[in-house]
Every structure is written in C-alpha cells, then in structure tokens.
Structure 1
Amino acid sequence: NIYSSMALTGISGILLGFLSTLVSHLLGMKASIYDMVLISIIAGILSAIVMLLFTFIIAFLSFRKGWDPDNTTAPLITLIGDMVTLPFLFLSFLVIQGLSILAKQSLFIASLLTILIVPAIYPRKEREVYARIMRESLPILSVCGILGTVSGFVLTTRIEGFISVPGLLILIPPFLEDGGAIGSILASRLSSALHLGHLEYEKFASRSVLRLFALSHTLSIFVFSLVAVFGYASAFLLGIRTLPFPCILLASVMAGELLTLIVNLVTYYVAIRSFKIGMDPDNVTIPIITSTVDLMGSMCFVGILVLLGMV
C-alpha cells in the first residue's frame, strides 16, 4: 500500500507536470516540461511521505482515544496536505532551478524507470494488490489532476481582481481546504455505511443520508464563518488590503453553502456508484471530492464574488 501510494504520487506528478505545462503555454507563460514534471514529482513524494506518517499517527490515535475516524482522519489529512504541499512546491522549485538540463533529463528518466521497474520485482500476491490499487485509483487521480488544473485556470481568469484586493487571496486556501474536509467527512461516513451494509443502493437519498446532508450544511455555516473571521483578521494584522468584514462573511458563507450542496450530491452518487460496480469507495470518493472541491470551490467563490460585485 505504501509503495502503491508513492507510485500513484509519481505518476500523478508526471500527469500534473504535463497538464500544468500545457495550461501555462495556453496562458502565454513559458514553462519547461522537465521543470514542471520534476517539481510536481518531488513535491508530491515529499508531501506523501509526511502525509503517510501523519495518517498512521492520526489513525492510531483516533482508535486509541475512541474517536470516530470518519470525523477526524480525512479532514486532518486534507489539512496537513494543504499545509505541507505549498512549502514543498517552493522547495522543489529551488532545487530544480539549480540543476543543469542534463541532470533534469537524467532525473526524469530515473523517475520513470523506478515507477515502471520496481513493481516487476514484487511477489505475485503483492503485485496483484498493487495492480488493483493502480487500476482503481489511477484513472480517478488522472481525472482529479485535470479538475485541479482547471481550478487553477478558473482562478487566473480573475487574477486582476484578486491582485487589486489581495486580502481575498488569503481566503482561498482555507476555503478550499474546509470544503474538502466537509466533503471528506461525508465521504468517509458513506463509505463506512456501505461496507457495513447500513446503506443501500438507492437512486434518491434516504432520510439518514438527508440528515447527514443537513448536518453538513449546518457545519459549513460555522466553518465558513470562521474562514471569513480568520481571513479578515490575517489581512488586517498583515496590513493587506481587503474587503469590509460583512462582505467577506457574506461571500464566504454563500459560496460555502453552494459548494456544500454540490459536494453532498457528488459524494453520495460517487460513493453509491463506485460500490455498486465493485470498486472500493475509499479509493474513489475522497480523491474525487477533494478535486471537485478545488474546481467547484474556485468557481463558487469567484462566482459569488462576481455576483456581489466584489471583484
């Protein structure tokens, strides 16, 4: 499982490198394919190492303390992922910029060979587990990578507005992270219910699922209000230009509620559909939700700001 996670990270890094290079060229920006791929791979692997460590720690602690892992593990892991990924991206950028073209090409080829060769020396049983994880997760992560790249593209369409009010940029990471956390909690609970037989394959959500939806919306009001409070406070303390607090609060809660509605529907139908066709929802639902949040969260946030005339 650990090597599968690393291999998925490496392959996803290659895909994201290609996608980010393509989008950069479409936006008229210069970008080297070797730079983008290697930065993505290195940052992804470093982040994966940290996240695997924290995943084990959080899982064991939640079990020992009697906490519900559906309510703790997924949101904490998404939080840690957001916290470590950006610093590792900057670190990877600094490392890659100091390498020669030959070194970059050699490192790129070595990464490809490692991903392709190592599974071949595994025992047969472990290869089967690896193959199943890759078969179920790789297509999903590929789609997620595309959604994440489109999310970045959406934000760049209003970059002038964000630059004129830079305090809004502070809101974006916690807004997307908390949206992903709310979706991950729901995804974990639905996955557990499906595995335990407490949830049937129903086209329309049952009352118990609707109660979970209602709880998600209630939680999102509180969470996205806090996002507005801390975002405004951070901008104020740093002396960064931002909007009046009532405007930020209104935009954050409205966009958050709209995002929660979308996430609830996507989470439910993805979990049900994946389980129905014999796929493990744990390998499918959370990656799709986090990527959906990146894309739809950006669209909801930008859309509400435009609707309210704030950018």
Structure 2
Amino acid sequence: MVVPQGSLGTWDWKSIVSNMFPLLIVLSIIVLWAGVTLESAEEMLEEVAILAVMVPTMVDMGGNLGAILSSRLSTRFHLGTTELDPRDRVLWANVAAVLALAATIFTALGVGAYLIGVLFFNSAIGLSTLLFISLVSGMSVAVIAIVFSFAATYGSYRLGIDPDDTTIPIVTNVVDVFGMVIFIGVSALVLGF
C-alpha cells in the first residue's frame, strides 16, 4: 500500500487544529461519563478502599495498551506495510503482544492490590477475588482497546486524516471511559454492590 501524499504526507498546523478541536470537544464530553460513573460508585469505593487504589492503574493501562497498538498500526500505514488484512501475521502478532502485556499488567495489579490491602487497609478481599476483578476488567478493556485502535487508525486513514494526530486521543479517552465503567461494573457484581 502506498501512502498518498496530501493531507497524510504533510504537516500543517491548521489542518491538525481543524481536525482535532471538534474531536477533543467530543472526547471531553465522553470522558465526563467516566467521572459520573466514578461518582456513582463513591460508596463502594469508600467501603472497599483497595478498589479505589486500583482505579488509576486500571484506567491508565487500558489507554496505554490502545496507544501502543495505535502507534504500531499508524507506523505500518505510513510505511505502506499494512492493509488490515486478516491474514497479516504481523497484525495478529501485535494483537497477541497487547493481550499478553495486558494479562501480565493486570495480574500484577491484582497481586499488588492484594498486598497493599493486607499491609495498609486490613482488606478482607482475597487474592483470588482481586485477581478475578483485575483480570476480567483488564482483559475486557484490552479487547476494547484493540477494537478502537483498529477502528480509529483505519477510519482516520480512510478519511485522509493523519492517524498519528487522531488515534491516541480517541483510543485513550474512549478506553479510559470503558475501563472505568467495566471496572466499576465487574467490582460491583463480584462484591455484591
């Protein structure tokens, strides 16, 4: 695939601002949803303080995983080495790497939360429960990050917008919101809130 010159081949601050400003307004409104979700879960987070400790890492890591994949996809588009063909082994290797990284990170989050809970909060939540919450939430967020990474990168490219300008804000914001909603939902279901 050859990357067409034009809007993808040049750097123009006016086009970046005109493309990004409306997008950032929409994304800001979407992120408000995460804040509303967090606010609605305040009682649960106060009662089970270790969950509040997990929130920043849970939300941040989902967006980071999506940013990693989006960057790799954008680079491949710019180099002309991808067409998002389902038979492309490199694409599947990138997806597998993101999932493996997610499994590692969210396992470490569950174990770390358990240790912090035991040492500082006298938490009664067991390791298996925290691992379950962390892994189910985290792997769900990783899958959403993968889907939005592909959609944002391919959509930007098809619209003639440089994916480097749009994918990271789209993926990180959307995945942050879904990360918060999924984490709160899984925690509430598992702990009976």
Which TM-score band (shorter chain)?
0.7 to 0.9
CA drift of 1:236 comes to 3.0
- Cα contact 2:66–2:148 (8 A) shared by 1: no
- The alignment's TM-score, normalised by the length of structure 2, stands at 0.86
Match of 2:53 in 1: 170
RMSD (Å), alpha carbons:
1.9
Q: Does 1:149 align with 2:32?
A: yes
Partner of 2:6: none
Cα distance in structure 2, aligned partners of 1:187 and 1:145: 20
1:254 Cα deviation after fit: 0.7
Residue number in structure 2 paired with 1:245 = 127
Structure number with bigger Rg: 1
Q: Which has the higher contact order (CA 8 A, sep 6+)?
A: 2
Q: 1:242 to 1:155 in 2, by over 3 A?
A: farther
In the alignment, which residue of structure 2 is the partner of 1:199?
82
Q: Find the aligned partners of 1:131 and 1:242 in 2 and give their Cα distance.
A: 55
Q: Are the counterparts in 2 of residues 228 and 249 from structure 1 also a CA contact under 8 Å?
A: yes
Amino acid at match of 1:272: Y
Unaligned runs of 5+ in 2: 1-10
2:14 aligned partner, one-letter code: A
Contact in 2 for aligned 1:166/1:242 (Cα 8 Å): no
Q: How many residues align?
A: 183
- Paired residue for 1:307? 189
Letter matched to residue 174 of structure 1: T
Q: Which residue of 2 aligns with 1:102?
A: none
| TM-score calculated relative to the size of structure 1 | 0.55
Residue type of the alignment partner of 2:96: A
Q: Could you tell me which amino acid in structure 1 is paired with residue 68 of structure 2?
A: I
Task: Please say if residues 50 and 117 of structure 2, whose CA atoms lie closer than 8 Å, have aligned partners that are also in contact.
Answer: yes
Residue pairs, 1:199-218, within 5 angstroms: 199-200=82-83, 206-218=88-100
* 1:159 counterpart = 2:38: no
Structure 1 runs of 4+ aligned residues shifted over 6 Å read none
Cα distance per residue 1:150-192 (max 9 Å; x no partner): 1111122222111111111000001111111111110110000
Unpaired segments ≥5 residues, structure 1: 1-127
Q: Distance in 2 between matches of 1:299 and 1:233?
A: 24
Q: 1:145 & 1:201 partners in 2: Cα distance?
A: 29
